Amino acid sequence: MRRALLVLPLVMCSCTTLGPMPMVTGQSVVPTPRPGGEAQIAAVPGYYLSEAVQEQPRGAAIQQAAVMFEPGDLIGLPGLSVGGRFVGDGDNGGFPEPMVRYRAHVDSQKMLAVGGVVYGGYGHGSASGASYEATRGGAEAALDLRATPQSKWVEVHLFGSLGLMGLDANGDYCLDANGRWGVDCGDPPFSTTHAQASGFYPTAAGGIALDLARHLHGILHGGRIALHGAVGRMPHVENAEQTTAKTFTSAGLSVTLGMGASEP
């Protein structure tokens, strides 16, 4: 991945947050039978880059709004979707991120589906004396198992995924009195520093979902309410020097609605 800038933001006693890093796409790999699109609102597992300069970094649920379009048979490529998401918000340096997804069933009973998503984006922001700018890219491979009989109205699905995200970072933030960890820039201001961090960071995730009204024949292609959980690795910086990556855990919730072509 080409080298990029990512300014590590500060944490104000774990209050100020910058640099949202969703480590799960939140995308279903269950195919739809007809061309259509999906809209989603979610808080997906991940972390804020501001946590990278804390002694004990923590994961977080990262806000996102996503839209995916699946032209399917209209272009002769059923299962291929394109779209994107906006992660975070204006207060924590949110940014848009394009996504490409492929998904397919692997059995005649349509119980098991597999797929993958690739994504990448650039973001920047500032708050309370710190700022960041970031380019990142990643990929996620996922599977989905229908755990209940096929139903027009309600199905239970279990899903899991493995992901890998790459980033490269540098930036400015305020240090505590010991010169080790990031703090809010107060009055009088704390000393500031410049730091770098880069690497590739894996994530394993899973969850449970309710699929609703998936097998109707009209323009409604169904909805999904999903609970997500994840564990992964994230960058860590002490005294403005990158150290060994830390483990994060996080959980989230997504709501997705699909619509499109009706059955002839």
pLDDT in tens, 106-162: 999 999 999 999 999 998 888 888 888 889 999 999 999 999 999 999 999 999 999
Q: Any bridge partners for residue 2, and if so which?
A: none
**pLDDT confidence tier of residue 11, bands split at 50, 70 and 90:** very low
- Is the entire prediction scored with pTM above 0.85? yes
For each of the domains in the chain, give its residue range(s) and CATH number, in order of start.
Answer: 20-260 (2.40.128)
Residues whose CB is less than 8 angstroms from the CB of residue 213 and which lie 6 or more positions away in sequence, other chains included: 152, 153, 220, 222, 223
